Amino acid sequence: MATMARPRTLLAVLMALLLVAGASTYGQPTEQKAVVDGITAIHNLGDSLSDTGNLLREGTTGMLQYTTGPPYGSAIGGATGRCSDGYLMIDFLAKDLNMPLLNPYLDKGADFTHGVNFAVAGATALDAASLAKRGVAVPHTNTSLAVQLQQFKDFMSANTKSPQEIRKKLGQSLVMVGEIGGNDYNYAFSANRPVADGAHDSYNFGRMATGVVEAMALVPDVVGAITDVARELLDMGATRLVIPGNFPLGCVPSYMSAVNETDPSAYDANGCLVAPNQFAQMHNELLQQGIRELRRSYPGATIAYADYFGAYVRMLRDAGKTGFDEGAVFKACCGAGAAAYNFDMDRMCGAPGTTVCAKPDERISWDGVHLTQHAYRVMTDLLYHQGFASPPPVLRIGGRPLR
């Protein structure tokens, strides 16, 4: 992603538009099968934050092609399609529930006794046709949230004899609906990123402003797509749902590198960019409103909001306590480009010319977009052991009660 032009002015535009809009131990997972809190299966829908190998089996080009080969997976013996050096939050959650790791849906020979992972790296909440009408292209996969829901329905129908049996199975399952939606915004911003050799002209500023407007216009529809899918799952019989919010974008190296702001007033006390974080919070607040409406409609179900934003900020604040290098919390372990962030959109981790840091476990960011295995373990602990997923979707997890 090229360095953005006139960042201070862009941040001011974004802030104005936001106002107008309203607005533990870190061991590796092992396969076990004991039942925890009555949960016998996990079903997961989402994007690269939780894909365990679907995009690898779909095949892709562009920047995500590098996620299917080394150095991805270097902490677990090789690339598996996970966008990290190792395991993800969904893996650690399965481990804490004493279950095998979730197999990707497209691994047709896999054992799906304890659940299925439908998540695909690069997936969007809205389908490609809806985004295309808004001038946003989906470069990596057509497996949107609606496609994943249909795959889930097909799977349940093929492995049960009746809707009643589906309801019974879902009554013993934990269903994860996301995180998803971040790519919808990423593609809108990326489509309007500055062109080369024109970093300071008015044309590039206009492109960036267009990206901001387009991304903001997507928020209600993205949130609506997520809550609509959650409603269908609840109607099918799901009783425990987890719906995550968005990360603080202003703390993510890819966004920080793109803006490359030098004005200290553009940053908050955690060192993160204020304006992108406000955009993420706009999504999160609208999503939480939708979740509250779902809870009113389905009072017998537990519908947890997983506060990825809050957990990520806590991880930043406590970086030194959990083993991270406090001087490199915004620097990708694997990548290339500016020294401050080690990120270049045109040379993503794994591409020729990129390098890997000596100690990935001391970094929060793996490739400027996704987290390291260690960061995903810390996030899982914060979410499911320290109350950042609320109300608790599981009463006891990993042998410890949730707080």
| pLDDT for 403 | 38
**Rounded to two decimals, what is the model's pTM?**
0.88
**Residue 77: partners with Cβ closer than 8 Å, 6 or more residues away:** none
User: Beta partners for 45?
Assistant: 177
Q: Which domains does the chain show, CATH number per domain?
A: 7-23+35-323 (3.40.50)
Q: Regarding beta strands 302-306 and 389-390, do their DSSP bridges make them parallel or antiparallel, or are they unpaired?
A: antiparallel
* 297 is annotated as an active-site residue: no
Residue 358 vs residues 77, 306, 332: alpha-carbon distances, Å: 16, 32, 12
Catalytic residue, chosen from 48, 144, 190, 257, is 48
pLDDT tens digits for range 173-229? 999 999 999 999 999 887 655 444 445 444 334 444 455 667 889 999 999 999 999
Q: What is the C-alpha separation between 211 and 370, in angstroms, rounded?
A: 22
Return the number of other C-beta atoms located less than 10 Å from residue 238's C-beta: 25
* 48 is annotated as an active-site residue: yes
Check: CB of residue 334 under 8 Å from CB of residue 364: no
Check: CB of residue 375 under 8 Å from CB of residue 365: yes
| pLDDT for 371 | 98
pLDDT by 10s per residue, the chain, length 403: 433 444 444 454 454 444 444 443 333 443 445 578 889 999 999 999 999 999 999 988 777 889 999 999 999 999 999 999 999 999 999 999 999 999 999 999 999 999 999 999 999 999 999 999 988 989 889 999 999 999 999 999 999 999 999 999 999 999 999 999 999 999 988 765 544 444 544 433 444 445 566 788 999 999 999 999 999 999 999 999 999 999 999 999 998 988 888 889 999 999 999 989 999 999 999 999 999 999 999 999 999 999 999 999 999 999 999 999 999 999 999 999 767 999 998 899 999 999 999 999 999 999 999 999 999 999 999 999 999 999 999 986 544 544 3
Is the sign of the CA dihedral 387, 388, 392, 397 positive or negative? negative
Q: What is the C-alpha separation between 380 and 89, in angstroms, rounded?
A: 6
| pLDDT for 396 | 61
Q: Regarding beta strands 240-244 and 173-177, do their DSSP bridges make them parallel or antiparallel, or are they unpaired?
A: parallel
Compute φ and ψ for 62, nearest 5 degrees.
80, -160
| pLDDT for 3 | 38
Catalytic residue, chosen from 43, 114, 283, 370, is 370
Compute φ and ψ for 389, nearest 5 degrees.
-105, 120
* 51 is annotated as an active-site residue: no
Check: CB of residue 193 under 8 Å from CB of residue 207: yes
Q: Which two tokens stand for residue 277?
A: 């974080």
| pLDDT for 212 | 65
Catalytic residue, chosen from 51, 85, 91, 367, is 367
Distance of CA 181 to the CA centre of its chain: 8
